[in-house]
């Protein structure tokens, strides 16, 4: 199987549109306009105990865009060679995660809500859930 060559440099923070109102602000998000793909699935993670971690997987083809809509958390990204950690704590900023990046959402503050947009519907076959298998696929791809 041929895997996409993504690096942690491809993980980018995007500023989302903000419309200011005296009564409260609004952030509209349109796929392929505000984020770099058409949205096929949306989900959110909530009621996460403070300090807990989520994620810890990579996608083979699916792209994701992660937004912290309440609280704060970090996203640890790993391309099989390099690692970085990105802090999210603003509802108008989102992190683009391309395929073949191992990502973990970590260090959730109490009451955080993590919103995720995905470029594809859920397919278990699109996941690497074992880091050793992910790492081996990256090394094999790069031979």
State yes or no: is 87 an active-site residue. no
- The residue assigned the tokens 């989102």 is 94
Q: Among 4, 40, 41, 57, which one carries the catalytic annotation?
A: 57
User: Does residue 26 contact residue 17 with C-beta atoms inside 8 Å?
Assistant: no
Residue 105: is it exposed, middle or buried by C-beta count within 10 angstroms (0-12/13-18/19+)? buried
Strand runs labelled E in 1-143: 12-15, 41-45, 54-59, 64-70, 73-78, 83-88, 93-97, 102-106, 113-118, 127-128
Task: Provide the annotated active-site residues.
Answer: 57
């Amino acid at each position: 199987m041929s895997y996409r060559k993504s690096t942690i440099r491809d993980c980018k923070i995007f500023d989302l549109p903000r419309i200011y109102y005296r009564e409260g602000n609004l952030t509209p998000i349109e796929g392929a306009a505000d984020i770099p793909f058409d949205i096929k699935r949306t989900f959110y993670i909530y009621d996460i105990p403070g300090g807990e971690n989520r994620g810890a997987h990579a996608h083979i083809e699916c792209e994701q865009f992660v937004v912290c809509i309440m609280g704060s958390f970090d996203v640890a990204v790993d391309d099989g060679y390099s690692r970085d950690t990105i802090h999210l704590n603003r509802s108008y900023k989102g992190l683009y995660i391309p395929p073949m990046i191992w990502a973990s959402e970590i260090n959730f503050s109490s009451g955080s809500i993590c919103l995720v947009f995905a470029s594809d519907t859920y397919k278990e076959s699109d996941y690497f859930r074992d880091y050793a298998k992910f790492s081996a696929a990256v090394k094999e791809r790069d031979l």
